[in-house]
Amino acid sequence: MVHKLTRGEVRARLRGISGWTVRKDEFSGTPSLHKEFKFKDFSEAMRFARNVGKVAEDYEHHPDIHLIRYNNVVITIYTHLANGLTAWDFQLARLIDKVKIRRKRQ
């Protein structure tokens, strides 16, 4: 069984991940981790999204990845099985924060 975190546990864990907030998922209404990443251009945003997808696949936990306009990637994470946030979500957020993209030379 997956342990759904309490509000207090969520607040405590949020201190360990920079830039992430808790919002209700716009499709399910479930509390989720949310972060926006901005890039120089479409190409960088897409490379980042692909790299996040690889990390998520390896971790076997799949966030929602949204490309907004041409250079913003929005990530939303929650555990569907728990219908809320778990330690698993916070670990994935930390892994996503480590994703690097190689910038193309100009």
Predicted confidence (pLDDT) per residue in 72-106, tens digit: 999 999 999 999 999 999 999 999 999 987 655 44
CATH architecture of 7-97: 2-Layer Sandwich (3.30)
Q: Please report, for the chain, the start and end positions of each structural domain, with discontinuous segments joined by +.
A: 7-97
pLDDT value, residue 99:
94
Q: According to DSSP H, which parts of the chain are helical?
A: 7-14, 42-59, 87-97
Q: What is the pLDDT of residue 19?
A: 96
- The Cα 58–Cα 41 span in angstroms is 26
pTM for this structure?
Answer: 0.91
| Residues 30-79 pLDDT 10s | 999 999 999 999 999 999 999 999 999 999 999 999 999 999 999 999 99
pLDDT of residue 41: 94
